[in-house]
Structure 1
Amino acid sequence: MRPELRAAVQSIGLANLGVGRAVVTEQTEWVLESDAARSEAHCAWLAILALHYTGDLVSADAQCERLARDPVWAGSDRHQELLTLLRARSSLMSGDVARAAELLKALLARRAPTLPLCLTVAWLIEALVHLGEFDQAHQVLLEHGLVGRLGSHLPDRVHVLAARGALHMAAGQFRHAIDDYTACGRILATLNVVNSAVVPWRSRAALGALAVQRYDLALALAEDELIAARKWGSARGVGTALHAVAMARRDGTSPALLEEAVQLLELGHARSELMQALYDLGMMQAERKDVVGGRSRLEEVDEVAHACGNAFWARRVKPALARLNDPDGSRVLTRQENKIAQLARAGYSNRRIAETLFLAVRTVEFHLSSVYRKLDISGRQELVTALGVVAP
């Protein structure tokens, strides 16, 4: 094995273990300085993936631009496909999900036999979920036969499970989401991959567990991921894990943890994750009667959404801002309404909500009607996107 390829493989191995981030950065830079290594598609692919895991998107993008000017890459369809896939991943990670979706759709349209199909599909589903294109994401899954049980030899199965989990979360199918994320985690464990930078399955599963009131599971998953993320040390990973921990704790430390998560996600250029963390922080502050702080955070969501061209988040934050800008606060959910809305979002029937909260069914119905009016939505399905992750 060539020294450059050996170094690239070693870098991916260290990244999977979540150790030696500085060493990985140094080794990948050395690999990509070699003309021979850059011309070898697999070697360059591994090195830039490792850079993605470190969170250094600036360097990863610069290396992609360098490869685009390389005659070997410019003259090879196989090299161009991998380069497009790497560029799409960078766009997805930086929050430019519309561009990522466009690049990934173009790749799939080529039907190239050498393309890592399942990985391309998984990343496209993730981009479509961030764009709010849930029906389209589901259609992509159907077209590629990736619904139901996945074969054990399916390439890139962990990424498909993670993408499918994201779609389940967006559709309010939280138990299915937890199942897919934990299945993803089990496979990663057999491969000795513990770094959340590869797939942050624990923090995502934790938010799903919160939505179905499984608080102990949510906290355990979130804290496990935070330990692993701090060991690796990327701003994106620690920020994502802190967000989940803040939500899972549901105590007086949560706002400060969310503030720290926001700072780290901003530092890591993780704009999609940043918008969710800002939204949840704004909703939490509003719930705790800090309307000014909540409004400020939601306005930041709007700014980030417009900066990265995410129409879904721009639409999503608008009614939340309208509620907080209401002068008499009549559109802000009460604590009781928030509890009922969160249970309804988790799939509880009106009768079960009533039994859980020791209320009459008619009282639950009354509060839900008030929730729909305040959120300017027509029913339960829209609660999935109208509410933050904040648990009652």
Structure 2
Amino acid sequence: PADRGAAAAWAVSLPRASGVLADVLVRGRSQEIKPRAEEVLRELHVAHRVTGQEEDGLLAVLALVYAEQLDAADSWCDDLLGAAGPSRLPVWRSLFSACKAEIAVRRGDLPDAVSFANQAFAEVSPASWGTAVGLPLGALIVAYTRMGKFGEAARYVDQSIPAAGLKNRYGLHYLHARGTFSLAAERRQAALADFLLCGELIDTWGLNGSGLVPWRTSAAEAWLSLGNRDQAKRLINEQLARPGSDGDRSRALSLRLLAETSSARRRVQLLNEAVDTLEELGDKYELARALRDLSGACYEAGEHKQARRVMRRGWYVAKRCEAQPLCDELLPAGGEEPAAAAKRPEGAKQLTDTESRVASLAAIGYTNREIAERLFVTPSTVEQHLTRVFRKLGLKRREELPDEIGFWTT
């Protein structure tokens, strides 16, 4: 009876899982996805011994990923991997390890992305993945590229994959990752071709509501690198005109690129919004890029002290990602690494999470009112937190807050 119950759960899960994913990819109903996807996943969790249900779980988890429900997707991956056990169901473990790699990429946790993707290939070799190999391959290529490990990235770019593997939704991950690698290697035309191919395939398949890959913003970045601002702005404005179909992350990426085509004053405004959104989403790599651009915009606007603070904060974030090329961009030539500029005082260990957050924001130039608005507290509460921070760190005033506090408190 138990086996019959598990089989019955599996029999209905696939069409339901496909429907959940379709709502994200085709209809863009990201806000409605979480309860429906989790219902499917709960049933699979109970019935995980049934062979052949791996695709069902993958569809439901990816629906959460594409809807930017990364915490929920990550938690379900952990639960399902735990249910599989250490010695059974290698296909199951490989699929959900690949999902965790994709989640890690979207969070900017690049070393974790490499680790999870390699775990996926340790369970099932790349040659045995078939047409789904683009999912873990894409995560490895993007992570290695952003970490500056171009030799490793190139090895996976050159990985032989089935022709059919480029013509499905998993292949989009590989194509977009290959474009990312090409752009970093300054093969701009090749990068643009891959990004535009992603867009053509998504359009052909009617997946216009999807958060599969950010092809418009990536293609816009390639156009900007080629000096074609008009084409870049066209794609950016197309993305921004889409009413919530791709979520806040795509809007933040669009705003960062739009700032490159705007006046200095407008750039600061656009980049501040992008920074706020990416910080809330927890995408550390894209946050570091937005901070890099914001630092430049502040300098152009004559706000040199703020530019320096933002630059150093961006360096800390990029360092956490182990994104070495981005760290090199943020660190002035011949400059000392910010982490070495000041020793962490004993008092920093005594800061509460809220005090650390307030201190970090104050150190990079936010006012009490701005901090209060971000943390949903009153300005007087912020002042109280800062008073305690000053006491614990042995400081007398706000200007003495070291830039390194953002690094100490991460």
TM-score by length of 2: 0.71
Deviations 1:115-160 (A, max 9, x none): 63233222211111111112321232224279xxx77965533222
Is 1:240 the counterpart of 2:271? The answer is no
- Residue 102 (structure 2) aligns with: 89
Q: Deviations over 1:340-378 (max 9, x none)?
A: xxxxxxxxxxxxxxxxxxxxxxxxxxxxxxxxxxxxxxx
Correspondence for 1:30: 39
1:37/1:44 contact within 8 Å kept: no
Match of 1:11 among 17, 20, 34: 20
C-alpha distance in 2, partners of 1:58/1:153?
28
**1:319 Cα deviation (Å)?**
2.0
- Bigger Cα Rg: 2
Q: Residues 127 and 195 from structure 1, CA distance in 2 versus in 1: closer, same or farther, beyond 3 angstroms? A: farther
Structure 1: how far apart are the matches of 2:111 and 2:165?
A: 31
RMSD (Å) for aligned C-alpha atoms = 2.7
Secondary structure of residue in 2 paired with 1:253:
helix
Residue 78 of structure 1: CA displacement? 0.8
What's the CA shift for 1:114?
A: 3.8
Aligned length: 320
Contact 1:168 1:177 in 2 (8 A): yes
2:135 aligns with one of 107, 110, 119 = 119
Counterpart of 2:117 in 1: which secondary structure? helix
Q: Distance in 1 between matches of 2:26 and 2:227?
A: 31
2:190 is the alignment partner of 1:176:
yes
Q: 5 Å matches for 1:184-203?
A: 184-195=198-209, 197-203=211-217
Give the distance between the partners of 1:274 and 1:57, measured in 2 at CA.
Answer: 16
Q: CA deviation at 1:33?
A: 2.2
One-letter amino acid of the structure 1 residue matched with residue 179 of structure 2: G
What are the residue-to-residue correspondences of 1:1-392 with 2, within 5 Å? Answer: 2-17=11-26, 19-35=28-44, 39=48, 40-71=53-84, 75-108=88-121, 110-111=124-125, 113-114=128-129, 116-144=132-160, 154-155=167-168, 156-195=170-209, 197-228=211-242, 230-232=243-245, 234-250=247-263, 252-319=265-332, 322=335
Unaligned ranges ≥5, structure 2: 1-9, 339-410
Change (3 A) 1:101 1:36: closer
Equivalent residue letter for 2:287: L
Q: Which moved more, 1:242-251 or 1:272-281?
A: 242-251
Contact 2:26 2:210 in 1 (8 A): no
How far apart are 1:316 and its partner, in Å? 3.3
- Structure 1 residue 108: deviation in Å? 3.4
Structure 1: unaligned runs, 5 residues or longer: 326-392
Amino acid at match of 2:105: L
Instruction: Check the 8 A contact 2:44/2:57 in 1, yes or no.
Output: no
Distance in 2, matches of 1:57 and 1:320, equals 36
Query: Letter of the aligned partner of 1:93 in structure 2?
Result: R
Q: Percent identity?
A: 24
Shift of 1:48: 0.9
Structure 2 residue matching 1:193: 3-state secondary structure: coil
CA contact (8 A) 1:108 1:117 kept: no
Q: Is the 8 A contact 1:5 1:37 kept in 2?
A: no
The change in CA–CA distance for 1:215 and 1:41 in structure 2 (over 3 A counts) is same
What is the distance in 1 between the residues matched to 2:14 and 2:333?
A: 50
Q: In the alignment, is the contact (CA less than 8 A) between 1:37 and 1:43 conserved in 2?
A: no
- 299-308 or 128-137, which moves further after superposition? 299-308
For residue 155 of structure 2, what is the amino acid of its counterpart? Q
CA contact (8 A) 2:166 2:172 kept: no
- Between the aligned partners of 2:290 and 2:154, the Cα distance in structure 1 is 25
Distance 2:246 2:172 in 1: 23
Larger mean CA deviation between 261-270 and 245-254 belongs to: 245-254
Cα separation, partners in 2 of 1:152 and 1:107, compared to 1, 3 Å: closer
Flag the 1:250–1:197 CA change in 2: closer, same or farther, 3 A.
Answer: farther
| Bigger mean CA offset, 208-217 vs 157-166 | 157-166
Contact 2:111 2:143 in 1 (8 A): yes
Amino acid at match of 2:174: V
Give a deviation string over 1:275-307, Cα, whole Å, max 9, x none: 111111112222332222221221111221233
Q: Is the 8 A contact 1:104 1:120 kept in 2?
A: yes
